[in-house]
């Protein structure tokens, strides 16, 4: 059985490090985007009864906020985190 928490984290990482992401995106906008993207994936698989959708959205948001705070700790903004990450990635490639 696949761990759904791992799927959520994979979605989070993919969107966090996406090279096409907007540098002006705020943390709140990013969190919303992750939650909605993950919910769409779950809905495509048919896993969510509609009466529980809002509760699930709230739970997912809390999880993504925790992931976001942990991952970006030490950076003032999401743009600063992405810039630092892109810089370290290009240094490793050299």
User: What does the block give as tokens for 62?
Assistant: 């809390």
Q: How far apart are CA 28 and CA 68, in angstroms?
A: 10
pTM of the model: 0.82
Q: How far apart are CA 65 and CA 60, in angstroms?
A: 8
Any idea of the CA torsion for 38, 8, 72, 78, to the nearest 10 degrees?
Answer: -20
pLDDT by residue for the chain (94 residues), tens digit each? 355 568 999 999 999 988 777 778 899 999 999 999 999 998 888 877 888 899 999 999 999 999 999 999 999 999 899 888 876 655 555 4
b/e per residue, 24-41, with b = 16+ CB within 10 A? ebebeebbebbbeebbee
**Domain ranges for the chain:** 4-93
């Amino acid at each position: 059985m696949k761990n759904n928490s791992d799927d959520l984290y994979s979605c989070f990482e993919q969107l966090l490090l996406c090279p096409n992401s907007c540098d002006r995106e705020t943390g709140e906008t990013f969190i919303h985007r992750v939650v909605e993207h993950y919910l769409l994936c779950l809905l495509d698989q048919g896993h969510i009864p509609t009466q529980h959708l809002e509760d699930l959205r709230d739970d997912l948001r809390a999880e993504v906020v925790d992931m976001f705070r942990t991952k970006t700790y030490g950076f003032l903004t999401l743009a600063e985190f992405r810039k630092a990450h892109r810089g370290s990635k290009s240094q490793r490639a050299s």
